[in-house]
Structure 1
């Protein structure tokens, strides 16, 4: 094992929403407790130009893009990530020693499907790491999900290693909720070892809402939930959609645009139109779908794991991060569902990490672990057969 040392690491994340890139600079140091100490230095967000975002979204539909254009996009995103790290490092006047770059997920299939005579699970994140290494002059860790998938896991969620490192408590249960394109949650019972952590994707967070906003209002997202607040939730549709098999499937499980992408949104809008829904009603119902899938997952899978047998149990904190945390309509729905269960909602910002920086911090941590030959997955969360070292290192 490599001797552990303090390093400044840049975590680079571009999520399922495909709205842009977040770069987070952290100082990560070994600690006597065994878990590394993480100090946030700074974070910066970069929006994809409109044409690039449209191309990224199109690439998630394999029938709409040639192999040549897919390759070009892979290399173009490498340039985007390199530019983002360089600008962030210059702004904070600090040079990272290592980069952890998640890349842009184009396809993720965590469960096996028969292909050419054999069951196959697969994942694909693009953005050429060699460009970052060449431009920045530092090593890059990328392609984090593949090792967990090869070890029998779903390749997701990977953020639980950060959740456990930073947020475990001996005195209270904690649930870490990320509301990015997809909603994922990590449940850590009070005093739990890493083997007692569960984590999984509960379903859509912003992906359906944002896609509906683009189609109906030509806007990338519902700022502060303003449109959802004007609409009426169509509960008959909500009840029908909640019958989908994914929501009742036991963890570990993961999902993405493969389940909740363009085709799902087209069917969702068509279903709403049959109920004579106005545009604002469709956004309200999409927002309620996110809230209900999260609440259903909490009640069915998380509460029993935390030992919550009845309403009114205290000492459970529900810590929310991701772009969806800025959607006031969504947060009000979640609050209304969780507070009667004795669950206190807190924002990630209260813990010193900006709402949208969490995943960048997570991949900075995973890169640091990989560099030191340490595993970065949580088998109890992904379903992997063992802890594995994540990612591939590009030295240049």
Structure 2
């Protein structure tokens, strides 16, 4: 037997596993690395976050990704090279993190790598039935496995699409297994580049869990800041806080048809990008607005689209809480607006026992654990989501 196969078999028989979850989102700020201790499977899953770090990307590497990110026309050589390079860079960052934590790679059971999304193209977004639903995350799992010496699971979204889904969002699977509550309905809100939530009804409501994208999270604000200020983000909402919301522009943004589609739905920077925003800006003849007013309005657009979506989800439900994770949690202006909309319900994801910045990386560790020791039967009660175990397995030798 291949010794890596024998090791894989041994891992599946352990009482608990040490799994590293990796997440690099559409903000391209860096690689989230979460070392998780996981036992059990399905609803019996238990997760403990042992270590977490975000390793920032070098600006040259980030800019290379931008040349192909969410673009329909790209340089194929750059694309092919980045598929390998992202895998190598992620592996280097994992080894660096392990060295800082004083942990030998051979003590890690596996890596769960989300990869870097470069294009998301469900038919509901492209409106082109020539091709099936598709999504693409690069950063080859074999490169990670060989360079780290650790068995790697990657490319999770393809199984979801192959089984009839749209490839996103995948958060429902881990959220459903870990965070259900008998009497409290929970909205697990993640504000990354795109905002999304998982709706987990209390057990007495007799409803199904679902996950859905909502609209822009940080992506429009980040893209505008990068284009006009050369900055990756509006840190602490300093620019947006200096401006005033332009109601005409906000109203026009809120007319986006995607916002009114039924749940669940999925989107990405392929729709919500700077070109999209500039077209709306020109349409409203507001191109002379100050950057501060534009950022204040984009901030309000994110807040209002999230608020509208949550209000649709909860309707007449009284006992609900909203637990927030993702980069948007660090935007004080955005959080102030959401707190005004839900004064008694909005909480940090930390209240559920996990660092909110680590949540997405932890969820992919859970997905890999399900592939190793779980079963599709564990996730049959998620609305409009195929019951599958996800992730391709790459052996290091």
Aligned to 2:314: 303
Give me the whole-angstrom Cα distance separating, in 2, the residues matched to 1:376 and 1:204: 33
Q: Which residue, out of 83, 88, 91, partners 1:82?
A: 91
Give me the whole-angstrom Cα distance separating, in 1, the residues matched to 2:380 and 2:24: 24
Aligned to 1:358: 359
Change beyond 3 A, Cα 1:324–1:273: farther
Aligned to 2:252: 240
Q: Is the 8 A contact 1:100 1:141 kept in 2?
A: yes
Give me the whole-angstrom Cα distance separating, in 1, the residues matched to 2:57 and 2:130: 38
CA deviation map 1:202-223 (0-9, x unaligned): 0010000111111222211111
Question: Any unmatched runs of 5+ in structure 2?
Answer: 1-8
CA deviation map 1:144-179 (0-9, x unaligned): 011111111111111122222222111211110001
1:241 shift after superposition: 1.5
Q: Which residue, out of 324, 330, 339, partners 2:328?
A: 324
Give aligned pairs, total. 382
Q: Is the 8 A contact 2:210 2:384 kept in 1?
A: no
* TM-score, L = length of structure 2: 0.90
Question: Are residues 1:24 and 2:60 paired?
Answer: no
Aligned to 2:159: 147
Higher mean Cα deviation, 344-353 or 268-277?
A: 268-277
- Map 1:372-391 → 2, pairs under 5 A: 372-375=373-376, 383-384=384-385, 386-391=386-391
Aligned to 1:168: 180
Give me the whole-angstrom Cα distance separating, in 2, the residues matched to 1:349 and 1:268: 37
Give me the whole-angstrom Cα distance separating, in 1, the residues matched to 2:381 and 2:61: 36
Give me the whole-angstrom Cα distance separating, in 2, the residues matched to 1:159 and 1:376: 17
Q: Which residue, out of 319, 338, 344, partners 2:342?
A: 338
Name the SS for the 1:123 alignment partner. strand
CA deviation map 1:100-152 (0-9, x unaligned): 0000001112236576x844211100001111111111211001011111111
Give me the whole-angstrom Cα distance separating, in 2, the residues matched to 1:325 and 1:375: 32
Change beyond 3 A, Cα 1:195–1:172: closer
Q: Is the 8 A contact 1:237 1:271 kept in 2?
A: no
Change beyond 3 A, Cα 1:224–1:177: same
Aligned to 2:55: 46
CA deviation map 1:3-39 (0-9, x unaligned): 56310000000011111110000000017x8421001
Give me the whole-angstrom Cα distance separating, in 1, the residues matched to 2:201 and 2:217: 24
Q: Is the 8 A contact 1:203 1:255 kept in 2?
A: yes
Name the SS for the 2:182 alignment partner. coil
Give me the whole-angstrom Cα distance separating, in 2, the residues matched to 1:44 and 1:221: 19
Deviation above 3 Å: which 4+ runs of structure 1?
1-5, 61-64, 112-115, 192-195, 268-273, 375-382
Q: Is the 8 A contact 2:281 2:287 kept in 1?
A: no
Question: Any unmatched runs of 5+ in structure 1?
Answer: none
